[in-house]
Chains A and B, each alone.
Chain A
Amino acid sequence: MGRLVLVRREQAVKGGQPLAFLIGLVSALAIGILLLVLSGHDPMAVYERMFDSSVGSPKSWSITLNRAVPLGLAGLAVAVAGSMGLWNIGAEGQILAGAMMAAWMARIGEGWPSPLLITIMLLASILGGALLGLGPAVARAQIGVNEIITTLMLNEVALRLLQWLIHGPWKDPDSKGFPLAPMLPGEARLPGLFERAHWGAVIALVVIALFGLVASRTAWGYELRVAGSSGETARYAGISLKRKIMTVLVLSGGIAGLAGGIELSGNADRIVEGISAGYGFAGIIVAALALMRPSGVAAVALLFGAVQVGGLSIQTMGVSSSVSTILQALILFGAIGAGVFSRYSLKRVQKEKQVGKEGLSE
């Protein structure tokens, strides 16, 4: 009996990524069949519904796209920090902060021309997320406080703040006592793109592409890579680590905040507690699966969005939410995880023969 180990290939297999993607997807679906049969469903019917509802028509594409926007931006936010070895676990709270700032601007600017109001809302949402990222940024850069803890805890702070606003100052007097904020005015809504899709998709794509360009082409992005590779080397090259940590965590917060602003303006009627359906946390998975690369974030977010939309739709045909969640995870990790094999190969190694005491001596 040997043992299986992953061995890095000398060179990545050409065209290996798409092939691995397909193989992974197909194997995940095959395992899923077992899961569905065991839980008493017709696998083919379930898969058909998943496919139709997520990518089967322009309308389903538009729903998928809307879902991919906050996932992509949250993923980018995490990836920006991750490229320097920092973990922003606070994207969820930053999304809420962004949404709150945008909602605030919508209250102030009711009746303003729509393009002006939307621009102000989105800029404010960036500011909101960035402000929430500022605290952890300063604490990390100046006194070395672990940003994972601080960003994580601020999620709770942002949520409580939003609850207070909805139950208190922002409560709609016409809501018959329900803790609801008033509806957004029409001029605060992002215009549509096609079917249900809104312009948020374009904005998200531009932001992701822009950051991808900045990261790979500019001196700033280069400094970021050096700092992420080795802090000592960065100091040697004259790069200020403190400043880099500050910028990156604040920028990361701002991008997540923008996701909140877009979500409010594009997808919601009013600001509610559940404005972010866990996008901030899902963003961590998106970033990790995209290997912290902005170029990968958009593709992973789109797949993630499609799987989520498909997974939700099959719950209407009686598939339990837990089975649906397992299926979503299977597909996601199967399709993306298989990419590893384009860079690594599986080898069987024989166990070492000489083991333990041999007792060769007298």
Chain B
Amino acid sequence: MSTPLAVDLSDIWKRFPGVVANAGASLQVKQGTIHAVLGENGAGKSTLMNVLAGMYRPDEGEIRIGGSQYWFRSPSDALAAGIGMVHQEFRLVPSFTVAENIVLGASERIIRKGSIESKVEALAQQFGLNIDPSRPVWQLSMGERQRVEILKTLWRNAQILIMDEPTAVLTPGEADELGGVLREMANAGRSIIFISHKLHEVKEFSDEATVLRDGKTVAASLNVDDTETSQLAGLMVGSSPVTTNRPPDRERGPSLLEVRGLEALDDRHLSAVHDFNLDVHSGEIVGIAGVSGNGQREMAQAIAGLRPIKSGTVKINGSDLSHALPVERFRAGLGYVPEDRLGVGLAPRLSVVENAILRNYKQLRQGPLLIDDKMSIHCQDIVDKFGVRTGPLNEPIAGLSGGNLQRLLVGRELSGEPKVLVAAQPTRGLDVQGVKAIQDLLVAERGAGVAVLLISEDLDELLTLSDRLLVMHSGKIVGEFDPVNSERHDIGAAMAGEVQI
């Protein structure tokens, strides 16, 4: 008789309005191992982990912990079953000490400071977590705060620890230290689930890896030592269910988007994009492939004007707009489909009409007044032309499905008749029809002589649509591929950062 699996999730389904986040995902974790869960943004990793941690209730599926079946109503049910989760955003009280944060909410009847602090210290030392229990949390670095979060789960005797992208907030030195702590915990018989899309860390820290894509498990419990990084990268991006035919070759025109020596910082003020050069010509689609978090997001934002440029130039249709406002770039012929549809491209609480006029409302004025007729004609045009299925146009867009939101957004950007279109993850999370519709629009724009920059995590989409395929890694382009005559393996290797050109 073998020991039962520490975690056995099978056939988990979780649907949200307009999105299927988990479509029969599964995960098996052996006791005393570090198990990496890999997948691109939107692959369903976080949803699956939230199901395991009791934050979400799955629509279908089975959760078995140590061989017994559970049904969690809340995170405290999951905790009672021995599952602790360290979220990306820490949940600590800054003015409390380390020890106070650790015992907070953990049914400690009488709190005697001295004895709690020494107990915390003992627990910390057991796992090699170096921390002073009497220090207030606000004085701690991000790495130290993470240790407090880990200690919180250990204090509650969690046998299974879920870490959601734990290294995203750490310096490389701290990340290595974390790796040691996790190994210590695994050796003590605890099981660790480690979410990441940094492949070298997965390789370094974990024993096994499960890869999710489009809400499904595409590779379960791979032995990490026997698996190439490029193979993992390939599994993550995988193939899309949509078969759009490759558009016929055509002559490309002059370069309409020229980026030279671009440097931009991420939200933590660390360099995210550097030495980045790019030309996109009229009538071509240039695809950008890469594992998430390698600067694609920041690069697109810098081109669109939503992120300041530290150095370098961005020229659109010949004019230097490196430091221009987003709206000035739009007027100069730049259409931009941002990665975050709701909250950046579209304002969630506003109506369909109000969202449709976001880019050109200043042209729909008479004096200070907005003209209702012009607004609704403009909106109706987009809705008709791009097949947006919507209720009354004055209702908030919150009721629209993901695909229809994207049609509205892409339609609005195209209604400005752009010369350059930057589309970041335009088909992510859409259903098959939605993906097809958006891909067709991109191809049509290419046919009309627009310069299209397509940033995607779907390698098949990139291979099908792109005239040229560039791979980004660590903030710059590390390879250019001909989408027709390239090996997937070579592209995967470039995405994993294994080749430098």
Contacts and interface: CB of A to CB of B under 8 A. Distances in A.
Given A226-B358, A230-B344, A236 B326 contact: yes
Contacts of A362: 67
A222 interface: yes
Interface string A231-244: 01111111000000
A358 interface: yes
B70 interface: yes
Interface stretch (A212-220, A309-317, A322-330): A212-220
A285 B102 CA distance: 39
B323 interface: no
Contacts of B359: 237
Given A233-B358, A238-B326, A360 B68 contact: yes
Given A236-B306, A238-B325, A361-B64, A219 B71 contact: no
Contacts of B343: 230, 232-233
A238 B336 CA distance: 13
Interface string A173-199: 000000000000000000000000000
Given A218-B368, A232-B344, A358 B71 contact: yes
Interface string B304-342: 101000000000000000000111101000001010100
Contacts of B70: 356-358
Contacts of B326: 235-238
Contacts of B106: none
A217 B368 CA distance: 8
Contacts of B304: 236
B425 to A, nearest CB: 16
B338 A226 contact: no
Given A233-B347, A237-B326, A356-B71, A219 B358 contact: no
A354 B349 CA distance: 36
Given A225-B354, A358-B71, A217 B349 contact: no
B340 A217 contact: no
Interface string B438-479: 000000000000000000000000000000000000000000
Nearest to B360: A237
Interface string A143-169: 000000000000000000000000000
Contacts of A217: 369-370
B73 interface: yes
Max chain B Cβ within 10 angstroms of own Cβ: one of A238, A355, A360 = A238
How extensive is the interface on chain A, given as a class?
20 to 34
Contacts of B328: 238
A84 to B, nearest CB: 12
B361 interface: yes
Given A355-B73, A356-B71, A361-B67, A225 B350 contact: yes
Given A219-B368, A237-B327, A237-B358, A232 B340 contact: yes
A247 B231 CA distance: 55
Contact of A236 (B69, B71, B345): B345
A235 B330 CA distance: 12
A219 B365 contact: yes
B385 interface: no
B234 to A, nearest CB: 33
Contacts of B330: 238
A356 B77 contact: yes
A359 interface: yes
A272 to B, nearest CB: 40
A354 B62 CA distance: 12
Interface string B153-196: 00000000000000000000000000000000000000000000
B7 interface: no
Interface string B342-380: 011111111000100111011001001110000000000
A232 B338 CA distance: 11
A229 interface: yes
Contact of B368 (A220, A225, A236, A357): A220
A216 to B, nearest CB: 9
B424 to A, nearest CB: 12
Interface in A244-280: none
Contacts, number: 92
A355 B54 CA distance: 12
B81 interface: yes
Given A218-B368, A222-B370, A236 B350 contact: no
Contacts of B344: 230, 232-233, 236
A234 B349 CA distance: 13
Nearest to B4: A361
Contacts of A357: 68-70, 81
Contacts of B338: 236
B166 to A, nearest CB: 26
Contacts of B81: 357
A361 B368 contact: no
A175 B184 CA distance: 82
B327 A352 contact: no
A228 B349 CA distance: 9
Interface in B69-88: 69-71, 73, 77, 81
Given A218-B368, A229-B350, A355-B73, A235 B358 contact: no
A361 B68 CA distance: 5
Contacts of A234: 347
Contacts of B369: 217-219
Max chain B Cβ within 10 angstroms of own Cβ: one of A219, A233, A352, A362 = A233
A334 B280 CA distance: 62
Interface string B196-227: 00000000000000000000000000000000
B280 to A, nearest CB: 21
A46 to B, nearest CB: 43
A215 to B, nearest CB: 11
Nearest to B69: A360
Nearest to A214: B368
Contacts of A352: 57, 71, 73
Interface in B394-409: none
Interface in A82-127: none
Interface in B98-121: none
A53 to B, nearest CB: 41
Contacts of B349: 228-229
Contacts of B350: 225-226, 229
Interface string A327-362: 000000000000000000000000010111111111
Contacts of A356: 70-71, 73, 77
A303 to B, nearest CB: 27
Nearest to B329: A238
A354 B71 CA distance: 7
Contact of A229 (B71, B348, B368): B348
B306 A355 contact: no
A222 B340 contact: no
A167 B81 CA distance: 68
Contacts of A361: 4, 64, 67-69
Interface of B: 4, 57, 64, 67-71, 73, 77, 81, 304, 306, 325-328, 330, 336, 338, 340, 343-350, 354, 357-359, 361-362, 365, 368-370
27 contacts: A217-B370, A219-B365, A219-B368, A219-B369, A222-B370, A225-B347, A226-B347, A228-B349, A230-B343, A233-B345, A233-B346, A233-B358, A236-B306, A237-B327, A237-B359, A238-B327, A352-B73, A354-B71, A355-B73, A356-B71, A356-B73, A357-B69, A357-B70, A358-B70, A360-B69, A361-B67, A361-B68
Given A217-B369, A236-B344, A355-B73, 7 more contacts: A219-B361, A225-B354, A230-B347, A230-B348, A232-B340, A238-B330, A357-B70
Which 4 A-B pairs give the minimum distances between C-beta atoms? A238-B327, A229-B347, A354-B71, A233-B347
